[in-house]
Amino acid sequence: MPNTRAMWLGVGLGVGVLAMAGVLMAGPIDPPPGPVQSTFKTLAEVEPRVAINPVNTPGDADSLYRITQPGSYYLPGNVTGQSGKSGIEIASANVQIDLLGFTIQGVAGSLDGITATVAAAGVRVRNGLVTGFGGDGVDLGAVIQLGVTTIVESVVSTGNGGWGIVGSASTGIHACGASNNAAGGISALADSVIDGCTATANLVGISVGDGGVVVGCTAGENHATGIETHGPAMIRGCSVILNEGAGISTNSGCEIEGCNASENNLDGIKIASFCTVRGSVCRSNGFLGNGACIHATGRGNRIEGNDCLGADRGIDVDSAQNFIARNTCVGCTTNWDVVSGNICLVVAGKPGGAVLGDSGGVAPGSTDPNANFTY
């Protein structure tokens, strides 16, 4: 027969365990003392930013909206400017503006789209379109102060009467576009970084000051220079094509590496003194004018490992005391135009026989590892 006592003991233990589990899982029966508090979040807590509108950011005589306090602001919709006024004036440091993909549209006689009238420390503008203003699209460089960090990112600025985007010193301009601006596309002063940007059909494409860095940018079909520097700077991985002036034009002490400069009306890459041009491709420059693939006007430059094709002049060096090595020039009206007093060995390559498989052909004509070749 079954052990009845054992069965009842098991049932009792099970009930006790269930009861204890219920006690452990249940919340307190008695409410806490005091009035009942809401668990819902306020609108300010859900969206902890300030809308740019006439109530929160009223304008003044020369601005449609004016931000006077630090904080995070957003644009709730498209904005149309007014004659004689900027769209948004930033009159405080530590201001972030999210345009939320909306457009700030200028009108005839308007000033800047977005402008900073104080040293714009900690200012960040992002994610929208600024177009059709009489002045600059975005101008954070009105008050110049070294060491002040500002950021412009994912902003498109088109059809403005001045520059598309202007940064002060120590500005980061990232993933922006500037086109058809009367003065220029994108400009920043000393110690600034411009990366992943596109500048087309402006007067000047991109301009950067001392210590600036331009990386991964495209400047094409501008009416003057594609990319220009005003002091020592670094330009890497950029494409400059079909500009009406030079593709890249630098001051002294610059480094240019891994760029493509093609079909510019003047020089593809023009440098002054103490610059390095390395690993770049220059093709068909002097397109509608007279230009070289690489043109050095001063001394102390290093021109190394570049490919030059189909220009009026391949490599053009006007001064002595430059080092020119391991470049190739082909199909230029004059492949080499280098004055005396430079370190430069040019060797005409020897056409070889057919090559099939893993062997064949002839050596290019010199065992000197620093030789340049014309073929």
Per-residue pLDDT reduced to its tens digit, 40-78: 555 455 557 999 999 999 999 999 999 999 999 999 999
| Contact (CB, 8 A) for 70 and 94 | yes
| 271 inside domain | no
Q: What is the pLDDT of residue 225?
A: 98
Which residues, in sequence order, are bridge partners of residue 176? Answer: none
Query: CB neighbours (10 Å) of residue 362?
Result: 11
| 358 inside domain | no
| 132 inside domain | yes
| Contact (CB, 8 A) for 157 and 176 | yes
d(CA 313, CA 327): 13
| 146 inside domain | yes
Indicate the residue type of 110.
S
The per-residue b/e assignment along 329-350, b for 16 or more CB within 10 angstroms, e otherwise, is beebeebbbbeeebebebeebe
Q: If phi over 0 gives left and psi between -120 and 50 gives alpha, with beta otherwise, what is residue 237?
A: left
Number of domains in the chain: 1
pTM for this one?
0.86
Enumerate residues 6+ apart whose C-beta is below 8 A from 298: 252, 271, 272, 273, 274, 318, 319
| 286 inside domain | no
Best CA proximity match to 171, nearest among 212, 206, 201? 212
Exposed/middle/buried for 215, CB within 10 Å: 0-12, 13-18, 19+? middle
Straight-line distance from the first to the last Cα atom of the chain, in angstroms, rounded to the nearest whole number: 107
Q: What is the pLDDT of residue 147?
A: 62
| 321 inside domain | no
Q: What is the pLDDT of residue 159?
A: 98
Count of CA atoms in the C-beta half-sphere (13 A) of 104? 40
d(CA 136, CA 348): 51
| 152 inside domain | yes
Q: Which residue segment(s) compose the domain that 87 sits in?
A: 61-177+184-197
Quote the tokens at residue 51.
Answer: 């809308």
| 138 inside domain | yes
Quote the tokens at residue 134.
Answer: 């009489």
Give the chain's residues under pLDDT 70. Answer: 1-32, 34, 36-47, 143-148
Q: What is the pLDDT of residue 39?
A: 56
